[in-house]
Structure 1
Amino acid sequence: MSATPAAPRRRGAVRTEELLQTTLDLAAEVGYAGLSIEAISRRAGVGKHTVYRRWPSLPALLLDALSRVWQSDLDYRDTGDLRADLREQFVRSGTALASPPIGPVYRAIIAEAQADETLRAALHERFLANVEKSTLARITRARQRGELAPDLNLEFAAEVLCGTLYYRHLLSTRPVDDEAIDALIDLVLTAHAPRR
């Protein structure tokens, strides 16, 4: 009797990863305006049906590609120094959001999501909520260590920290530079320092 078909599933997973990477590579070259399922399938050397079997639309594919990069490359470190860890993450996030492929693709998905409730919900659940959760996890550990006031509303603090940076990137012409990042961290940490 033959073995279970584990190898084809592994090939499928490998193909999915290849398509995600191809999407990011092409986005970096041509920007959102040059992206299409057809262009991605041509670059990957597969038929359009291979892409559509995995993703029902271009925004869904882009959301998966961005989530993959964000989760693998932009996670918080925990060095024991909250300020340093927040600063490192925000600098890395700021650079990613200002640069291809993440920056232009993310802005395009945000624009698409305003007219597509399903995409908007998916964007929040799979991307924005994860950003907030990782920030919440990091500041929760800091409060447990006594670095933050015990009565701090952690969910709101995480929303303020993340939301300020995303607002600047998406809706403002002001930069997310070292000065802005330091001011934001100072504002939150000073306001919520433990009482001595």
Structure 2
Amino acid sequence: MHRGNRHGRSEAAREAVLQAADDLVAEIGYAKVTIEGIASRAGVAKQTIYRWWRSKTDILVDAFTADSAQELTLRDTGAFRTDLRAHLDELVRFLEVSDSGAVFRALVGQAQHDPELAARLRAEVLPQLRARDRVPFDRAAARGELPAEADVDLLVDQAVGPIHFRVLVTGEPVTPALLDALVTRAGQGQPGTPPSQEQPGAADAELDR
């Protein structure tokens, strides 16, 4: 029983550290976050942190991995377009609004001049995000909602790429019209096809920007 309680306390301390790291990055930015600050916010000793992690970057990678697994829920609505729209809505909120999104943006920025972190993101973090982004497409393929010859990887790139580009590069808003256009294009199952050949509207204009 004593060992179980100790394990419980350790897990609670670990969760407190991950939450503290999330909060601090959102509040003061990656550069100002320190192990000392994380320890103080989490209410643990620095030595406790160093038993589990080598650096604040290691903490943040673990925090983001855990958060993305919890917050990107991948609802199954029974249809491709509604599955994809629900996922894209969640992805936008996750990247733009949540503390986890602030962590992701900070890690991507840091990776531009930290080759070790860049390699770790590509090996550990991005494949997990990619696997979640594929889920609506894999479900659609299984239901027969996509052509058998559809290039799923390219369709995924076209659906989520513009979102990441706006969030991480240009800072432009990710509008409902843009999401409508991305879902429409993906629903046609052919990479690069126009969203509609009928009457161009706001969705078409978003993709043409």
Q: TM-score surpassing 0.5?
A: yes
Distance in 2 (alpha carbons) for counterparts of 1:190 and 1:138: 14
Question: Does structure 1 conserve the Cα–Cα contact (< 8 Å) formed by 2:75 and 2:83?
Answer: yes
Q: Determine the structure 1 residue equivalent to 2:201.
A: none
Q: Determine the structure 1 residue equivalent to 2:91.
A: 93
- How many residue pairs align between the two structures? 191
Deviations 1:76-126 (A, max 9, x none): 111112111211221122122122523332222112112222211222233
Alignment of 1:30 with 2:28, yes or no, is yes
Q: Determine the structure 1 residue equivalent to 2:198.
A: none
Q: How does 1:3-14 map to 2 (within 5 A)?
A: 5-14=3-12
Deviations 1:32-55 (A, max 9, x none): 344211111011122212112211
1:179 is displaced (CA, Å) by 1.1
Q: Which amino acid aligns with 1:27?
A: V
Q: Give the CA RMSD over aligned residues.
A: 2.2
1:191 is displaced (CA, Å) by 4.2
TM-score (norm 1): 0.86
1:150 is displaced (CA, Å) by 0.8
Q: Determine the structure 2 residue equivalent to 1:125.
A: 123
Q: How does 1:2-81 map to 2 (within 5 A)?
A: 5-81=3-79
TM-score (norm 2): 0.81
Question: Does structure 2 conserve the Cα–Cα contact (< 8 Å) formed by 1:37 and 1:48?
Answer: yes
Unaligned residue ranges in structure 2 (runs of 5+): 192-209
Q: How does 1:107-186 map to 2 (within 5 A)?
A: 107-186=105-184
Distance in 2 (alpha carbons) for counterparts of 1:75 and 1:123: 21
Q: Determine the structure 1 residue equivalent to 2:81.
A: 83
Question: Does structure 1 conserve the Cα–Cα contact (< 8 Å) formed by 2:25 and 2:33?
Answer: yes
Question: Does structure 2 conserve the Cα–Cα contact (< 8 Å) formed by 1:31 and 1:101?
Answer: no
Distance in 1 (alpha carbons) for counterparts of 2:71 and 2:88: 13
Question: Does structure 1 conserve the Cα–Cα contact (< 8 Å) formed by 2:150 and 2:189?
Answer: no
Distance in 1 (alpha carbons) for counterparts of 2:108 and 2:95: 12
Distance in 2 (alpha carbons) for counterparts of 1:90 and 1:137: 12
Distance in 1 (alpha carbons) for counterparts of 2:146 and 2:164: 23
Match of 1:62, SS state, is: helix
Unaligned residue ranges in structure 1 (runs of 5+): none
Distance in 2 (alpha carbons) for counterparts of 1:10 and 1:126: 27
Return the structure number with greater relative CO, CA threshold 8 A, min gap 6: 1
Distance in 1 (alpha carbons) for counterparts of 2:99 and 2:67: 10
Distance in 2 (alpha carbons) for counterparts of 1:103 and 1:141: 26
1:127 is displaced (CA, Å) by 2.4
Question: Does structure 2 conserve the Cα–Cα contact (< 8 Å) formed by 1:27 and 1:105?
Answer: yes
Q: Which amino acid aligns with 1:91?
A: D
Judge which range, 28-37 or 171-180, deviates more.
28-37
